């Protein structure tokens, strides 16, 4: 349980992991501001205990993000097109949107304003994986995540990159922390609910574990990370 309650900005709150994370974060005592692009999602998010916030990642500016982060303790990046909407949209969301968030956080730091911590949901071995250069939307996703994670790794922000493996709908069990290697994703899986449990665990802590944190389904408790 957290020593202090936190205000969390969850970016991409209507994604599968976002919908799983929100009630867990609320149950842990946190306030969740859930950023989504459609007002149609608001009622569902309110039922989960979140405060819906309307915003389109592809159009929010650095200044917009700075305003949205006012009073926020932890930002969770759970958004992702993942190649589903084509290469252009994937690049706009997964790369450009995430980079603008990082720029906004660094701008807050540069002006001596309060800077939220950042939890970036990525995937195992993202900085080592390379696109096939075939120009498809999955290549755009691979390139985007590699760029964003590498950018975070040279920043001075207080951040944690999460590296789950292939995501499943299975109920959460335990976890196994593994090296953050692209080869580690072969024949391994990570429950989306487990990712939500890990998000809740790290948000609730006063300090993050070492980044990146790569993990798959296993038998260890989430509290052991």
Instruction: Find out whether 150 and 191 touch, Cβ atoms under 8 Å.
Output: no
The one-digit pLDDT tens for each residue of the chain (225 residues) are 445 799 999 999 999 999 999 999 999 999 999 999 999 999 999 999 999 999 999 999 999 999 999 999 999 999 987 667 788 999 999 999 999 999 999 999 999 999 999 999 999 999 998 888 777 778 999 999 999 999 999 999 999 999 999 999 999 999 999 999 977 678 899 999 999 999 999 999 999 999 999 999 999 999 999
Element (H, E) at 200: helix 192-203
Instruction: Find out whether 191 and 170 touch, Cβ atoms under 8 Å.
Output: yes
pTM of the predicted protein model = 0.95
For residue 83, what pLDDT is reported? 67
Q: Which residues, in sequence order, are CB contacts of 154 under 8 Å at separation 6+? A: none
> What kind of fold does domain 7-224 have according to CATH?
Rossmann fold (3.40.50)
Phi then psi for residue 104, to 5 deg, are: -65, -45
Strand 31-36 relative to strand 213-218: parallel, antiparallel, unpaired?
unpaired
Instruction: Find out whether 18 and 12 touch, Cβ atoms under 8 Å.
Output: yes
Query: What are the extents of the domains in the chain?
Result: 7-224
DSSP string, 74-125: EEEE----TTTT-HHHHIIIIIIIHHHHHHHHHHHHHTT----EEEEE--TT
C-alpha torsion sign, points 130, 136, 141, 144: positive
Tokens for 141?
A: 């996703």
Whole-angstrom distance between the N-terminal and C-terminal Cα of the chain? 14
For residue 3, what pLDDT is reported? 54
Strand 117-121 relative to strand 159-164: parallel, antiparallel, unpaired?
parallel
CB atoms within 10 A of CB 66: 16
């Amino acid at each position: 349980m957290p020593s202090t309650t936190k205000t969390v900005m969850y970016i991409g709150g209507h994604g599968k992991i976002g919908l799983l994370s929100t009630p867990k974060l609320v149950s842990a005592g946190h306030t969740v501001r859930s950023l989504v692009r459609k007002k149609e999602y608001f009622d569902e998010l309110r039922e989960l205990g979140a405060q819906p916030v309307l915003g389109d990642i592809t159009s929010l500016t650095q200044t917009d993000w700075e305003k949205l982060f006012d009073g926020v303790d932890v930002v969770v990046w759970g958004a992702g097109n993942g190649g589903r909407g084509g290469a252009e949209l994937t690049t706009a969301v997964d790369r450009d949107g995430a980079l603008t968030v990082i720029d906004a956080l660094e701008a807050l730091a540069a002006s001596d304003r309060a800077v939220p911590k950042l939890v970036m949901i990525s995937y195992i071995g993202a900085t080592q994986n390379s696109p096939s250069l075939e120009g498809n939307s999955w290549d755009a996703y691979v390139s985007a995540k590699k760029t964003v994670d590498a950018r975070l790794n040279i920043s001075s922000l207080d951040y944690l990159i999460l590296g789950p493996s292939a995501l499943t709908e299975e109920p959460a069990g335990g976890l196994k922390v593994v090296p953050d290697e692209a080869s580690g994703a072969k024949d391994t899986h990570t429950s989306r609910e487990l990712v939500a449990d890990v998000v809740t665990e790290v948000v609730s802590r006063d300090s993050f574990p070492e980044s990146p944190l790569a993990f798959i389904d296993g038998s260890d408790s989430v509290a052991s990370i």
